[in-house]
Every structure is written in C-alpha cells, then in structure tokens.
Amino acid sequence: MVARPSIKLQRREEILDAFESCVIRHGLTGATLQKVADESGLARPLIHHNVGSRDELLEALLERLDLRYEQEREEFRQHLPGSDRCRAMLDIMFDHRYATSSHEGQLYQALSIGAEEHPNLQRSLNRWYGSLLADIEYELLDEHPQAETTDVRAIATGVIALYFNAESMALVTDRRTVFQDSKRAAQRLVETLKWNG
Amino acid sequence: MVARPSIKLQRREEILDAFESCVIRHGLTGATLQKVADESGLARPLIHHNVGSRDELLEALLERLDLRYEQEREEFRQHLPGSDRCRAMLDIMFDHRYATSSHEGQLYQALSIGAEEHPNLQRSLNRWYGSLLADIEYELLDEHPQAETTDVRAIATGVIALYFNAESMALVTDRRTVFQDSKRAAQRLVETLKWNG
DNA sequence: CTATTTATTGACGAATTTGACAATAAATGT
DNA sequence: ACATTTATTGTCAAATTCGTCAATAAATAG
C-alpha cells in the first residue's frame, strides 16, 4: 500500500537549494540548520526527516554537485560548435554565467575553506578541480596542437582562476565590469597560445 | 605607579595571529573563541581581557590588516627597481609569496564570505581590492603607456584573480606547480599589453 | 469510513558558544 | 614588606545549535 504519497525528493531539492544559499552567504560553518530551515520555509525537523544529520546534508550536497557538474559537462559538449570551440567555451564560462547570475565559484570557494575537516569534501573539490583543468587543457591543446603542455596548463590555471574569482570580486565591485574584464583577460590569455605557432 | 608591566600589546598580536589561522582554516564563523584560545595557547577569558568581544576581535584584525597592507605597499615601492618593474611586481606577488608560504589570499577569500553580515568588513575588503587594482593598473600603464585603459583593467583583474586563487588551489593540488603556473599565466597576461605598440 | 503511511509540529536534553564576574596569582615601585 | 596594578584562572548564566522523539495532521488505498 502507498497511502500518503512521499514528497521526499522534492523536499530534498528545496532543502539542498537552501543549504547552498546559506553556504554561499555564511560559509559552511555558518550555514546553521535553523538558517537552512528558514531559507527553505520548512521546519527544522523536516531537514532530518528528508535528508538527515548535518554530515548527511553535506554528503547529499556533494552528490548533487557531482551530478550537476556532469550534466553541465554534457551540455557543454553538445553546445560546443565544431570550430572556434575555445571562444565558445569562454562565452559559456563568463557570459552565460553572468546572465544566469550563477554562484558556483562562490560555492566552490566557500566549500574549500572547511575542506580540511571533511575528507569527503576535500576529495570532491580535488576531483572537480582536476577534471575542470583537464577539460580546459584538452580544448586548448585541440586548437593549439603546437603549444607546450606547460604553457597549456598555465593558461588553463589562469582561466580557472578568473572563472572562480569573478563572483567573489562581484561582491566588492560592479558585477558587470568584473565579468567583462575577467572574460577579456581569459581571452587574451588563450590567444597567447598562438605565440608558438 | 606602573606595578606589574602590561603585556597587552604582545598578547594582542598572539591572539590576532591565532585568529587569522583559525579564520583561514575554519572560516570566520568557524573561528570560535575557544579555538582561537587553543591556537594561541592562552585561556579563553584572556581574549576578552586583551582584545575584547568577538566583534572587537574582528575589528582589531581589520585594523591590523590595514596596517600590514600599507607596510607591504611601502616595501613594494622601495624594493621596486627603476626598470622592468612589472616583472619585479610579479616576482614579489608569486615567488616571494610562495617562499614565505603566506596565506593572504585565503584570508581574503575567507573574510569575503561573511562580508554581508559585517558592514565594516565589507568596507575594508572594498578598499583593499580597489587599492590593489589601482596599484597594479598604475604599474602596467607606466610600462605600457600606449595601452587602452580597458585592457589595463582587464589584465590587472586577471593578475589579482591569479594572485588570490593560487593559495586556494594549493589546497587541492601541488603548491609549487600552482604557483609556477599562476605566475607564468600572469606574465603572459602582462605581455599581451605590448600588442598595441 | 477505516487503516496505513507519510508529513508536520512541538518540545526536550546535551553540547557548544559567548559574555561576564569574582577570586587568585604575579610583578613592580616604594 | 607593602600597596598597587596587571595577568590568569575558574565559574556562571543566557543563547544557540543539534539530535531525537512523541504527538498530531494529512493523504491515499481498500
């Protein structure tokens, strides 16, 4: 028998959304269960009912971020044109991110602060960074086969730094300006790969 | 009469040192007075005795960071050679920082997370970022007078992003590699200013 | 309508954090 | 030795946070 239908999956998403917002605004330690409850509009015990303890909440967030990262990776591949892919990549990383007012960079940075205390978190951040770096390196090297691998890695590191820092800087300066400048810098950085050939 | 000599100034520094370490490792919210006390090796009530309440602790940290920033700015000016100053600037920003295993970037990022709740913190971060951006723009423009101001600002933004992110990335990858790559990317970025002339 | 399953609420205890105070110990000038 | 100032310690109460549970409300199948 099914009786009252379960809405755990929806509640889960609502709670994790609220948790993300709280982590971005108050940091991992500052994201209190009470704040998460207030942000989601649910009573605090419902967090336990739908997701679990505080550790399980973080665990669930990491799993969801893993999924989201893979999805965006897939979309990225589909939307990429056959040629001029590096240009399209930067468009997605900066223009699209600016338009949708996403906060992934802030979330990543907020999570990386408490990483020492949470081994799983540390591992996830490691995986994401390594994967992102490898993806960007691949695109760069594909369009610039003659480039040195050392240079490619340096450029990819720079693009990621601009990508992650744009949102943080947007807290202290004009968001539009920061995103424009960040993209411009990233474009120039990529163009330097043509120096070798 | 003086009686027992006061060591408040030394204790203050010890406590603020411990506070900095805790903020870097656990974030602003996670930097408990108890953890600060343990880190400094002092009893918790001594924090109140020497610095004050939690808010006053943050206030004292901001003042000290203001001072430190001005000092480094002064050292920066003195150690700068007459020519090739952009190169020297990047040497200081990355090589020197790597050698002294400083954590200013992490501290800045950790503080920027809780900025919304603390107006003074918000103001300080604003001031520091604006000042650093202006300084770097000045050096870039001094060596590349023909460059567009828009490009100069974009390059300066990129250099700051690499500067701030290097330490965070060092948490997830090899520190030496990250700093080398970051510096290399920053150098390439600066060299693109020669494109216009 | 009734039974069953789930959602929701209210409330409790343990642990942590913070601010505050009194009491004690230590160091210096006289 | 004595008085005075500071450092240090121990302890307390209020507030917050977290986990837990029992009780209640709601929704669906039969």
Q: What pLDDT is attached to residue A3? A: 86
The band of B9, judged by pLDDT with boundaries at 50, 70 and 90, is very high
Using CB atoms within 10 Å of the CB of residue B182, give its burial: 0 to 12 exposed, 13 to 18 middle, 19+ buried: buried
Q: What pLDDT is attached to residue A196? A: 66
The rounded distance, in Å, linking the Cα atoms of B156 and B138 is: 9
Q: Determine the residue of chain B that is closest to A106 in CA distance.
A: B113
Instruction: Provide mean pLDDT across the span A141-160.
Output: 97
pLDDT higher than threshold 70 for residue A197: no
Using CB atoms within 10 Å of the CB of residue B122, give its burial: 0 to 12 exposed, 13 to 18 middle, 19+ buried: middle
Q: What pLDDT is attached to residue B70? A: 95
pLDDT higher than threshold 60 for residue B197: no
Closest CA to B12 of B61, B72, B55, B45: B61
Which pLDDT tens digit goes with each residue over A54-111? 999 999 999 999 999 999 999 888 888 888 999 999 999 999 999 998 999 999 999 9
CB contact under 8 A, A162 and B158: yes
Q: What pLDDT is attached to residue A2? A: 72
Q: What pLDDT is attached to residue A81? A: 80
Q: What pLDDT is attached to residue B196? A: 66
A119-123 contacts at long range (C-beta below 8 A, 24 or more positions apart): A120/A58, A120/A59, A120/A62, A121/A58, A121/A62, A122/B171, A122/B172
Q: What pLDDT is attached to residue A76? A: 85
Residues of A in contact with B185 (CB under 8 A): 154-155, 157-158, 161, 189
Sole residue written with tokens 């520190």: B175
Which pLDDT tens digit goes with each residue over B38-83? 999 999 999 999 999 999 999 999 999 999 999 989 988 888 888 8
User: Residue type for A109, please?
Assistant: Q
* B21 CA – C18 C1', rounded, Å: 20
CB contact under 8 A, B109 and A114: no
Average pLDDT over chain B, rounded to an integer: 94
CB contact under 8 A, A188 and B191: no
Instruction: Provide mean pLDDT across the span A139-152.
Output: 96
Of A29, A116, A173, the CB nearest to B129: A173
CB atoms within 10 A of CB A122: 17
Q: Is-contact A58 A118, C-beta < 8 A?
A: yes
CA dihedral B147, B94, B107, B164 (to 10 degrees): 40
Q: Is-contact B77 B138, C-beta < 8 A?
A: no
> CA distances (Å), B63 to each of A65, A121, B69, B125, B152, in order?
38, 33, 10, 12, 30
pLDDT higher than threshold 70 for residue A122: yes
Sole residue written with tokens 């903020």: B23
Which residues are within 8 A (CB) of A125 and not within 5 positions of it... i.e. 6 or more apart?
A108, A111, A112, A115, B171, B172
Instruction: Provide mean pLDDT across the span B32-43.
Output: 98
pLDDT higher than threshold 90 for residue B2: no
The rounded distance, in Å, linking the Cα atoms of A139 and A88 is: 11
Of B153, B169, B189, the CB nearest to A129: B169
pLDDT higher than threshold 90 for residue B193: yes
Instruction: For an interface test with B, give the residue of A150, A172, A174, A182 to mutate (most B CBs within 10 A).
Output: A172
Q: What pLDDT is attached to residue B80? A: 80
- Which residue is closest, via its CA, to the C1' of D10? B45
The rounded distance, in Å, linking the Cα atoms of A35 and B41 is: 33
Q: Determine the residue of chain A that is closest to B26 in CA distance.
A: A114
Residues of B in contact with A113 (CB under 8 A): 24-27, 30, 106, 109-110, 113
The rounded distance, in Å, linking the Cα atoms of B102 and B185 is: 20
pLDDT higher than threshold 90 for residue A175: yes
pLDDT higher than threshold 90 for residue B1: no
Q: Determine the residue of chain A that is closest to B129 in CA distance.
A: A172
Which residues are within 8 A (CB) of A51 and not within 5 positions of it... i.e. 6 or more apart?
A12, A15, A16, A57, A60
Closest CA to B132 of B196, B195, B76: B76
The rounded distance, in Å, linking the Cα atoms of A36 and B41 is: 34
